[in-house]
Amino acid sequence: MKPRLLAEGCATRLAGPLLFLKRTVDVGLNEAVEVKGADGRTRLGRVAAADEETLTIEVLENTAGLGLADVVVRFVGQPLEFALGPGILGRVFDGVGRVIDGGPPIPAREAYPIEGLPWNPVARGVPRDFIETGVSAIDLMNSLVRGQKLPIFSGGGLPHDRMAADIATNARLPRGAAGDFAIVFAGMGLPHDSAEFFRRRLEQGGALERTALFLNLAADSSTQRLLTPRYALTAAEYLAFVEGKHVLAILTDMTNYCEALREVSSSKGEIPSRKGFPGYLYSDLATLYERAGCVHGAKGTLTQLSILTMPSDDITHPIPDLTGYITEGQIVLSRDLDRRGVNPPVNVLPSLSRLMKDGTGERYTHRDHPALASQLYSAYARAVQTRVLAAVVGEDGLSEADRRYLAFGEGFERNLVHQAGARSFAESMEAGWRLLKGLPHAELTRLSDEQIARYLAKA
């Protein structure tokens, strides 16, 4: 059958984002449609279900203003696509990939389906090599690796926006050319002032010209919010695997995305699972997160740094919980550290980078980096434990060794996690060794004798 079919005057029912049509044309599941109402606006949609008499169309934009009488539905004949070509860096798009910076349209070379197709695990390369973010708590303790997906778990009111903008500005490949690096920034459900903040910060930091910015504002429809990361990731995949760049995709805020998914799911009358989110939340998030990676034979890589705000700081909430099961680790921000003026307030204990071992060490960062990070972890964990003890028995009741750990914990937060500006990797390493000097050497079991002699011997 021919694509680009029209259906007029056959709409029978409208319920939330769902539009029911009498089936007059032969179309397949998931194919894209354009719905035009009496108000003249064109809305994107897709075929959600079909039987012999009825077609169910899921309209992916606001359905307010749509009536049954004058609806014209155009069937595209294939799933939703995004036409891309060179020159998308430095540009600003809306949530469904339309240019909104007043510039000329993108010269489209090829159209890519926005859902993407799952990578064959055999075709994937193992993520290797390091991306320097300029944040010690990430670079030194939970390193970000090219092709990794590492989310930031934040909370309302914590400085994750600033952190994301800083990383977008400062991130670099220590072992690659500057022109190889690109950023795709997708804002989902952003308040207007946050969107402005990002645009301004990227412009001031000089990072806008290596960034493709996708903005879905809080006032935009929630069905459109579901498309924003898909358009952004399609662009990111294009940059990585067609143009051969190392792409860092920053998605914020995934919580808004999940809320939109819940809203749309409930309007479809689906059986809700935990906290009202649909049972397929895990599979749906996986279709986004799993688009990060490296591919054999491709020069570029796609790394994801998504940001989500944990509802009431609860890490067991379904959104952070399911995200943590898909992503390769997480960076957790802490309200307590933020209150004490530590910036960025990264709580390293619940943070984790699963791929760290593949992107650090002799070939990528420094030979002694893994041992140093492991020792800092173990010492900081003990310091935090000692802090609890000190709160009960008082500092005087502690042993000498415990008091040294207490001081170490304080120093770790003040001098390593906290930073005024971006820090190079070498500076982060140095700060780490300096802190360990204050601890009894015999207890540093994660370090070899040789490392102790080289870095910790008294000057």
Partner 1 sequence: MSMAAIRWISGPVLRATVRGPFFLRECVRVGPRHLLGEVVRIDGDEITVQVYEDTTGLRPGTLIEGEGNPLAIRVGPALLGNIYDGLLRPLTGIDARVTAGARPAPAARLAFRPSRKAGATVRGGESLGEVSLPGRRTLACLVPPDLEGELVAIQEAGEYDDTQPVASVRTADGREVGVAMSHAWPVRVPRPVARRLPTREPLVTGQRILDALFPVALGGKAAIPGGFGTGKTVLLEALAKGCAADVIVYLGCGERGNEMAGVLEELPQLVDPRTERKLMERTVIIANTSNMPVAAREASIYSAITVAEYFRDQGLHVALMADSTSRWAEALREVSGRFGELPGEGGYPAYLSSRLAEFYERAALVETLSGSRGSVTVMGAISPPSGDFSEPVTSHTKRYVRAFWALDVKRAQARFYPAVHPLQSYSEDAAEFAPWWSENGNTQWLELRRRFLTLLDEQSRLERMAKIIGKDALPARQQLTLACADLVNEAFLRQNAFAPKDRVAGPAKQAAMMRITGRFIELSTQAVAAGVAPDRITRLACLRPLARMGEEIGDGEMEKFDAVASALETEFHDLIPAPEARDEAAAAG
Stretch that binds partner 1, among 59-67, 68-76, 211-219, 387-395 (CB under 8 A): 387-395
Give the H or E element holding residue 145. strand 144-145
**Residues numbered 47-86 forming contacts with partner 1, rule: CB under 8 A:** 48-52, 56, 79
Should residue 97 be labelled a site residue for partner 1 when binding is judged by CB under 8 A? no
In this chain, which of 95, 97, 134, 147 binds partner 1, going by CB under 8 A? 147
Should residue 324 be labelled a site residue for partner 1 when binding is judged by CB under 8 A? yes
Cα–Cα distance, 402 to 398 (Å, whole number): 6
Cβ-contact 124, 149 below 8 angstroms: no
In a 13 Å sphere around the CA of 198, the CA atoms on its Cβ side amount to 30
Should residue 328 be labelled a site residue for partner 1 when binding is judged by CB under 8 A? yes
Length of the chain: 459
- At its nearest, how many Å lie between partner 1 and the CB of residue 226? 16
Tell me the per-residue interface mask from 411 to 450 with partner 1, x by CB under 8 A, - otherwise. -------------------------------x--x-----
- Spatial neighbors of 371 by CB under 8 A, at least 6 apart, are 446, 447, 448, 451
CA angle 102, 227, 132 (to 5 degrees): 80
- Spatial neighbors of 265 by CB under 8 A, at least 6 apart, are 272, 277, 278
Helix (H, G, I), strand (E, B) or coil at 443: helix
Should residue 330 be labelled a site residue for partner 1 when binding is judged by CB under 8 A? yes
- At its nearest, how many Å lie between partner 1 and the CB of residue 55? 9
- At its nearest, how many Å lie between partner 1 and the CB of residue 419? 22
Should residue 329 be labelled a site residue for partner 1 when binding is judged by CB under 8 A? yes
**Residues numbered 10-49 forming contacts with partner 1, rule: CB under 8 A:** 23, 26-31, 48-49
Q: How many CB atoms within 10 Å of residue 366?
A: 15
Should residue 266 be labelled a site residue for partner 1 when binding is judged by CB under 8 A? no
In this chain, which of 162, 192, 357, 454 binds partner 1, going by CB under 8 A? 357
From the list 215, 113, 99, 136, the residue with the least C-alpha distance to 415 is 136
- Pick the closer one to partner 1 by CB: 76 or 207: 76
- Pick the closer one to partner 1 by CB: 44 or 422: 44
Crossing angle of helices 160-170/192-204, nearest 10°?
30
**Residues numbered 107-126 forming contacts with partner 1, rule: CB under 8 A:** 117-126
In this chain, which of 156, 244, 276, 279 binds partner 1, going by CB under 8 A? 279
- At its nearest, how many Å lie between partner 1 and the CB of residue 294? 8
In this chain, which of 293, 344, 345, 409 binds partner 1, going by CB under 8 A? 293
Cα–Cα distance, 385 to 406 (Å, whole number): 9
Stretch that binds partner 1, among 36-44, 247-255, 277-285, 427-435 (CB under 8 A): 277-285
From the list 228, 164, 234, the residue with the least C-alpha distance to 199 is 164
